[in-house]
Amino acid sequence: MEAIVCEGLTKKQKQLTTLKEVSFSIPENTIVGVVGRNGAGKTTLLKILAGLWRASAGNVHVLGENPFNSLYVSTNTIYISNEMVLPNSLSLSVLLTEAGRFYPRWNDDLARRLVEYFGFRGNDLYTQLSTGKRNTFNAIIGLSSRCPITIFDEPTTGMDQAVRNDFYRALLKDYLQVPRTILLSSHHLEEVEELLEAVLLLDRGKKQLYLPMDDVKHEAVGLTGRTEMVYTYTQAKTVFYRESIGMDTTYTVIKANQVDMEKAKQLGIQVTPVSASDFCVYLTRAGKGAIDDVFQ
């Protein structure tokens, strides 16, 4: 069964179109990474899926319903971001208790153990927390809710590396115990790619790709060699990125299935893997070439 279905999803905000006819579907019990540069439309999409914003056009169904103004979707969906606002007058312990009243699948034991592990005190006030600690507490609520649709929008902002690693491990371990559909928006694809089963890449409001994670990892390769040889070899091939290195060397990224390894070797061209993170960056770059071209 599909947990989320979008068909021609469009969102307009005043004169700006932040989502443009985005279509995809996500099956139940899948971890999907929603990636893209700042302003790509990630947060807009996630807020629409969470029922916080209404789509301007197209169709969107979450758990079989339009999420906007749906009590059923609201009860079974949680949206975690650094924009969350919680009552400042309530202690962290009381906030956990109140969260348990709203979410039917809430695991209070998990929440309390995570709070203790990450060094919170139950009588602390939310407003007293630093940005990193506040987002860590938000993430604890997201995990402990165990909602069928769990959405994390840049959840690790302000967290140090060790805390981010612990959060990702906790997310994976709890997902294995209680599978659900998890959408994870992140600027650190290299950190989360081992968690993900699929990647949805947005670029300037449009869907750039939506593929299984394994396919993204093997979608492209890098070619390094003499400029003339590389240009000749890549004619009529799909080029994602090209960069000059030194006086007569060029690095070019092309589709992996268009490479003839034997011919590349004969031309003195080195073939290397391209990480999923780098591939997504190349797909969404603003223009051709690299930053070095600005200084020519």
Provide the pLDDT confidence category of residue 209 given band limits of 50, 70 and 90.
Answer: very high
Q: Name residue 100's amino acid.
A: G
User: Residue 289: is its pLDDT beyond 60?
Assistant: no
Q: What is the value of pTM for the model shown?
A: 0.91
Per the structure, the complete domain to which residue 265 belongs is given by 218-288
**Is residue 58 a contact partner of residue 34, using CB atoms and an 8 Å limit?**
no
* pLDDT value, residue 93: 95
Residue 267 lies in a domain: yes
Same domain? 117 vs 198: yes
Average pLDDT, stretch 149-175? 95
Asked if the structure places residue 152 within a domain, the reply is: yes
For residue 7, the model assigns a pLDDT of 97
User: Do 40 and 64 sit in the same domain of this protein?
Assistant: yes
Question: For position 89, what pLDDT does the model report?
Answer: 83
Structural domains in the chain (count): 2
Tokens of 83: 């924009």
pLDDT averaged over every residue in the chain: 93
Same domain, 44 and 122: yes
Do 180 and 129 sit in the same domain of this protein? yes
- Residues 241-267: pLDDT tens digits? 999 988 899 999 999 999 999 999 999
Instruction: Give the residue-averaged pLDDT of 44-68.
Output: 96
Over 90: is that where the pLDDT of 196 sits?
A: yes
Express each pLDDT in 77-111 by its tens digit: 999 998 888 888 889 999 999 999 999 999 999 99
Per the model's pLDDT, the better-predicted residue between 290 and 177 turns out to be 177
Q: Residue 65: beta bridge partners?
A: 62
User: Has residue 296 got a pLDDT over 80?
Assistant: no
Q: Quick one: pLDDT at residue 186? A: 83
State the pLDDT at residue 231: 94
In a shared domain, residues 187 and 259: no
Shortest CA distance to 199 belongs to which of 74, 48, 29, 30?
30
> Which CATH number belongs to the domain containing residue 275 in this structure?
3.30.70
Strand order of the sheet with strand 206-212? 77-81, 149-153, 181-185, 31-35, 198-203, 206-212
Ordered DSSP codes for 235-270: TTS-EEEEEEETTTEEEEEEEGGG--HHHHHHTT-E
